[in-house]
Chains A and B, each alone.
Chain A
Amino acid sequence: MATRPTEVAPRRRSAPKPAAPVVEFKDVTKVYDGGAVGLDRASMRIGRGEFVFLVGATGCGKSTCIRLLMKELEPSKGELKIAGRNLAEIPRSKVPYLRRNIGVVFQDYKLLPNRTVYENVAYSLQVIGESRQEIRRKVPDILRLVGLSTKLHNYPDELSGGEQQRVSIARAFVNHPPLLLADEPTGNLDPETSIGIMQLIYRINRTGTTVVVATHDHSMVDKMRRRVVELQEGRIIRDQVSGLYRPDESTSEFAIRLRGEMGIGAEGHPN
């Protein structure tokens, strides 16, 4: 699968080749009502099981991408497909069914404040009409997976930021959606906690879930060595497959590559 060459993405390399792209942006432009440009002719394909970082400074269009994928926003121009389905063709009333197949994690966690950890996670199962037994089985399971089995009956405001983010990840993943979107998942967290959260997201990716993480967490991207799509003022200026096919490299190989690519990594991150 070759990505479409465009003038704005000179350094683009071809992505790995899973069968059908889970996400496909075709010249997507998003201009907000006020005239601000969220995305400018962005094209990319994300294959099944990929782990993609969307990076760039604040206001570069990362969140716009996520919100377009959630169909919270409509593209002004261009075509946006998820699993081959054009999002423009999904009527408003069917949007909830689209969202049930997409897990989302936000910077501000977006937990329901009046519900316990257990109830927060259970809600996304209740939404899809899951039976009570299934909820009783699945929720403790997923909360054990994220390491919160002791805080089942705490309310969100009784948890630390990292713990709240774990709840939100549990909620996003309890349905086992094929696509997980994360908008600055570590934006409010200290570096150590961030690593834990990233590990969790990585584990989810290992189960075959396609993961898109919007972040400006430079060190995290460098550590993870995944595909990186860099945005600047709404344009994709870099789309780089980084370390995706080298999970078993030795430490020295890693160090060499690290040194080689440090420059590239820093280039897009002035801060």
Chain B
Amino acid sequence: MLRPAFFLKEALRALSRNAAPSLAATVTVLLTALVLGIFIPIVQATTGTANEVRNRVLVDVYIQNSATDDEVEELRQELAATTDVKTVQFISKEEALEKEKQRNPEAFELLGRNPLPDSFRIYPEDPDSVGAIVDSLAPLNAQGKREPQLAAIDEVRNREDETDKILKATGLVKALTAGLAALLVLASIALVANTIRLSIFSRRREVEVMKLVGATNWFIRWPFVIEGLIVGAMGGLLAILLLTIAKETFVDPLSDRFALLAAPDTIDFPLLIVLLLLSCMAVSALGSGLTLRRFLRI
């Protein structure tokens, strides 16, 4: 007799004969997949946004108007050599004016000349080290004022209170979303595993009888594993169907209207559904196979 066909038949028989537990397991998989499918992009978008905000943390070093080109070049090398500095970008007074004009055209229309100095924009390796960079470039003096170390520097600025807020808030958001994601994954696995355990527990006598008539462990296990695969696939597919509908009807029109929504990098939808389906099937099948172990020890 063809073994795989037999096992498949056994699995299908078990599914149809134990419709209630099978349905419960399928619904559980469906719900958890749905929740995960919604939360994974949300968590990613949140973290993405937080990271983006953190990347706005930077240090501006304004150069003395009197500085010569040599002094400026020297300063650039000094800055680049400072620890924790990722990149140093030179912004000439003209570029600075262009940017400011874009931001506030009317105010700069009125100005006849360019009041802005040349500057270096420093992007830190790690947003959290921005304080250290500022301290090393311009330590606080006795009066509590910042005094630049190098002659060519006019002023060092990092928009202090803003930076602090950004770092604190984004740090909290990132930690929270990471914790939430971990909890969610754990809860999903526990929920699915428990439902499967219940469904198998209700059939432990059956397993015992199978053992007593001389069935090998895998002979008993395969139908259960296949059953788990089917339950996982069904729950996963239903969840994906619902997710697709939700995406088409709600998220897509929204993101068309507000570019903002689509901005953060989130997981590709096809990749997301494939991952969801695979993990549903894996958890469900593994859950079945592993839970059975306890009842096979006869």
Known: A72-B298, A112-B206, A132-B1. A123 touches B14 (CB 8 A): no
Known: A72-B298, A127-B219. A110 touches B214 (CB 8 A): no
* Contact in complex: B209, A112 (CB < 8 Å): yes
Interface residues in B177-222 by Cβ distance below 8 A to A read: 205-206, 208-217, 219
Q: Is the interface of B mostly helix, strand, loop or mixed?
A: helix
Chain A CB count within 10 A is highest, among B13, B209, B213, for B213
Assess whether B17 is interfacial by the CB under 8 Å rule.
yes
Contacts of A128 in B (CB 8 A): 214
Chain B CB count within 10 A is highest, among A96, A102, A110, for A96
Bits for A93-132, please: 1 = Cβ < 8 Å to B, else 0.
Answer: 1001111101010000011111000000001101111111
* Contact in complex: B213, A114 (CB < 8 Å): no
Question: How near does chain A come to B12, taking the closest CB pair, in angstroms?
Answer: 12
Contacts of B210 in A (CB 8 A): 112, 123, 127
Assess whether A216 is interfacial by the CB under 8 Å rule.
no
Contacts of A70 in B (CB 8 A): 212
* Contact in complex: B1, A127 (CB < 8 Å): no
Contacts of B298 in A (CB 8 A): 72
Assess whether A62 is interfacial by the CB under 8 Å rule.
no
Contact of A97 among B14, B206, B214 (CB under 8 A): B214
Interface residues in A130-163 by Cβ distance below 8 A to B read: 130-132
* Contact in complex: A96, B215 (CB < 8 Å): yes
Known: A129-B1, A132-B1. A124 touches B206 (CB 8 A): no
Q: A99 to B18, alpha carbons, bound, how many Å?
A: 28
Known: A72-B298, A96-B216. A126 touches B209 (CB 8 A): no
CB closest chain-B residue, reference A128:
B214
State the interface size on chain B (CB cutoff 8 A): 20
Assess whether B269 is interfacial by the CB under 8 Å rule.
no
Assess whether A235 is interfacial by the CB under 8 Å rule.
no
* Contact in complex: A127, B215 (CB < 8 Å): yes
Contact of A114 among B206, B208, B211 (CB under 8 A): B206
Contact of A96 among B13, B17, B18, B211 (CB under 8 A): B211
A-B interface pairs (CB < 8 A), number: 56
Question: How near does chain A come to B258, taking the closest CB pair, in angstroms?
Answer: 54
Assess whether A30 is interfacial by the CB under 8 Å rule.
no
Known: A114-B14, A114-B206. A124 touches B1 (CB 8 A): no
Contacts of A113 in B (CB 8 A): 205-206
Question: How near does chain A come to B223, taking the closest CB pair, in angstroms?
Answer: 11
Q: A114 to B212, alpha carbons, bound, how many Å?
A: 17
Contact of B214 among A114, A124, A132 (CB under 8 A): A124
Interface residues in B211-263 by Cβ distance below 8 A to A read: 211-217, 219
CB closest chain-B residue, reference A110:
B209
Known: A114-B17, A126-B1, A126-B6. A99 touches B214 (CB 8 A): yes
Contacts of A96 in B (CB 8 A): 211, 214-217, 219
Q: A111 to B209, alpha carbons, bound, how many Å?
A: 7
* Contact in complex: A124, B213 (CB < 8 Å): yes
Contact of B212 among A93, A97, A99, A131 (CB under 8 A): A99
Assess whether A48 is interfacial by the CB under 8 Å rule.
no
Q: A114 to B17, alpha carbons, bound, how many Å?
A: 7
Interface residues in B2-59 by Cβ distance below 8 A to A read: 6, 13-14, 17-18
Please, could you name 19 A-B residue pairs with CB atoms under 8 Å apart, sorted by A?
A: A70-B212, A72-B212, A93-B217, A96-B215, A96-B216, A97-B214, A99-B211, A99-B213, A99-B214, A102-B214, A104-B212, A111-B209, A112-B206, A114-B17, A123-B215, A126-B1, A127-B219, A132-B1, A171-B213
- Closest 7 A/B residue pairs (Cβ): A100-B214, A99-B214, A114-B17, A124-B213, A127-B215, A96-B216, A96-B214
Given contacts A102-B214, A124-B213, A127-B213, 19 further A-B contacts (CB under 8 A): A93-B217, A96-B215, A96-B217, A96-B219, A97-B214, A99-B212, A99-B213, A99-B214, A104-B212, A110-B208, A114-B13, A114-B18, A123-B210, A123-B213, A123-B215, A126-B6, A127-B214, A132-B1, A171-B213
